Amino acid sequence: MYSISRAGGRAITLVLAVAAMACSKKDDSSQMDPGASATGVETMPPAAAALRVSEIELGKGLKSDKTLGDETDSFGVRDTIYAVVKTDGASSGSKLDAKWTFQSGQMVSESSQTVSPTGGEARHEFHLQKSSAWPKGNYKLEVMLDGMSAGTKDFSIK
């Protein structure tokens, strides 16, 4: 007859318990991974849409909600020119630049804003003003998003 010490008995009991748990483990294929689709293929949660400029508008007046009071592309020599740039999507500190030029590309003004990472639609205001009369002629506003052209808007001063 064999004699087993208490320590040996505990070791055998532990080995048998581990083996029993391994044998009784449920088949993992029956449980759905939260990141997997019904076909079992891993899916990623939808990523936030990248920031993009959706519209550029010009006008003579600006309301408190950053919408234009009088949208136009024709201004008088003493008007302040307002631009509203609409963006859609999420941002991680993107930068919007407004470059205002006259006739054949002569720089009139340039300004920039950092876009908050709010996501969804947002409006950003830029304006151009001068204490004396503007020279009559054709002008252009170019909006840059993170250094890349996002759109232009032509206008004239008459």
Range of the domain at 81: 52-157
Q: Please write the tens of the pLDDT for every residue from 17-37.
A: 555 555 554 544 444 444 444
Number of domains in the chain: 1
Flag whether pLDDT at 6 surpasses 70.
no
The pLDDT value recorded for residue 32 is 44
| Average pLDDT for 5-18 | 54
The pLDDT value recorded for residue 28 is 47
Sheet containing strand 121-128, edge to edge, reads: 52-59, 81-88, 121-128
The two tokens of residue 11 are: 């070791």
Residue 9 maps to a domain: no
> Is 155:74 a contact under the CB 8 Å cutoff?
yes
CATH assignment at residue 58: 2.60.40.10
> Is 95:89 a contact under the CB 8 Å cutoff?
no
* Residue type for position 29: S
> Is 121:85 a contact under the CB 8 Å cutoff?
no
Q: Please write the tens of the pLDDT for every residue from 52-105.
A: 999 999 999 999 888 998 899 999 999 999 999 999 988 778 999 999 999 989
